[in-house]
Amino acid sequence: MILYEASSLSNTAQQTHSIEPITSVTLEQKSMSKINIEFTLFSAFYSPLISTMTGGFLKEEGLDFEFTVSAPGVTAITALDDGSADVVQSTLSQGFNTLNKGDLPKCVHFAQINEMDGFFLTSREKDPNFSWDKLEGAEVLVHHGGQPMTMFKYACFKAGINMNKIKIIDAGNAGEMDKAYRAGIGQFIHQQGPAPQQLEADGVGHVVTALGPLIGACGFSSLAARPEWLKSEEAKAFTRAYIKTRNYMNDASAAEIAAAEKPLFPSIDEAVLANCIHTYQNMGVWTRHIDITDDGYNAMLDIFEYDGMLKTRYAYDQVCARPPAV
């Protein structure tokens, strides 16, 4: 576990240009209480949650915090189940998976993080005229986590290509995929930012497309918590901070957001991080509202139904709840 004091966040770490994230950070503030946050994946795509911390919004609401990142292949929902986290970055599909097993979820998804897929495709060569049919017959390193793979399948469907004609490579977790591509494996790679933007800056590849605009708006990722915690004063304080952060993500420049987040991305160039955040801002992945909308929820049902990953179309309130009233 790597720990940082708040004052240490301005320090610049040596850059190695790998994408291994730090796994735990504690920032001590003088406040009423502390909350524990866990990420399933740690990337700039989840900046609305990251910036609650780095932008000082949790501190403004009187909250100390610690965050951790789940081990590869482990969902942060397990941290809610064992009580080690109060709020986690997750996906609606975790609720679908639990219901598919005949169990009732112990947690609810109460706020959205991203309303669009945040993965990119990077090619070895520049290709301003990229089209998805160029993947047919090519070797592609695809993120094999449950939801990323389902979204990739749906993107292929939307693009009208035969996914069975793609030579899909499973190179492991996000960090292992990045290392494999840098070692010359594969013609394309499927990653969340800022990893593909760093590959481009390092001359390893060129980002050719984003999946989000092709797939369209959907409830891609969300915040989850236990129902009893959502009734607490800490949950209300967190929600106030998160509302402020959503506006900040739309009003602040990418450079400002990146400068604050940079200590948590020691292996990523600050200019690359800013470029990635700017791209996400332009894509519209971080809307101002925090609710998981009915449309976003239903879009995720459509996507998982297409992949045969649903036993039935579960009702909104079986998986989601509205944010705490503040």
136 shares a domain with 103: no
Q: Which of 173, 197, 215 is where one domain is finished? A: 215
Q: Report the amino acid identity of residue 31.
A: S
186 shares a domain with 38: no
Backbone angles phi, psi at 196, to 5 degrees: -65, -35
The angle subtended at Cα 112 by Cα 5 and Cα 288, nearest 5°, is: 90
Whether 307 is in a domain gets the answer: yes
**Residue 254 has which token pair?**
């990418």
* pLDDT the model gives residue 28: 46
170 shares a domain with 126: yes
**Helix intervals (H) in 101-232:** 146-159, 174-182, 195-201, 211-215
Contact 211, 303 (CB under 8 A): no
256 shares a domain with 161: no
Specify the range with the lowest mean pLDDT, choosing from 12-21, 236-245, 267-276, 313-322: 12-21
Name the band, by pLDDT with cuts 50, 70 and 90, for residue 5. very low
Q: Which of 173, 193, 215 is where one domain is finished? A: 215
The angle subtended at Cα 286 by Cα 289 and Cα 13, nearest 5°, is: 130
Domain that holds residue 164: 119-215
* pLDDT the model gives residue 32: 60
108 shares a domain with 11: yes
Q: Report the amino acid identity of residue 86.
A: D
* pLDDT the model gives residue 144: 86
- Give the tens place of pLDDT for each residue, 19-54: 344 444 544 444 468 999 999 999 999 999 999 999
Whether 326 is in a domain gets the answer: no
Specify the range with the lowest mean pLDDT, choosing from 143-147, 272-276, 294-298: 143-147
- Give the tens place of pLDDT for each residue, 125-165: 999 999 999 999 999 999 987 899 999 999 999 999 999 99
The CATH number of residue 175's host domain is: 3.40.190.10
158 shares a domain with 138: yes
* pLDDT the model gives residue 73: 82
Whether 211 is in a domain gets the answer: yes
52 shares a domain with 127: no
Is the pLDDT at 209 greater than 80? The verdict is yes
Provide the whole-model pTM: 0.89
248 shares a domain with 106: yes
Looking up tokens 């060129």 gives: 206
Q: What percent of the chain has pLDDT over 70?
A: 90
Q: Which of 215, 238, 262 is where one domain is finished? A: 215
Q: Which are the contacts of 25, defined by CB distance < 8 A and separation ≥ 6?
A: 2, 3, 4, 53, 66, 67, 264
* SS3 (DSSP) at 206: strand
109 shares a domain with 52: yes
In this structure, how many other beta carbons lie within 10 angstroms of the beta carbon of residue 250?
13
Contact 2, 253 (CB under 8 A): no
Domain count across the chain = 2
E strands of 124-245, at which residues?
139-141, 167-169, 188-192, 206-210, 221-225
Rounded-to-integer distance, Cα 176 and Cα 203, Å: 19
280 shares a domain with 138: no
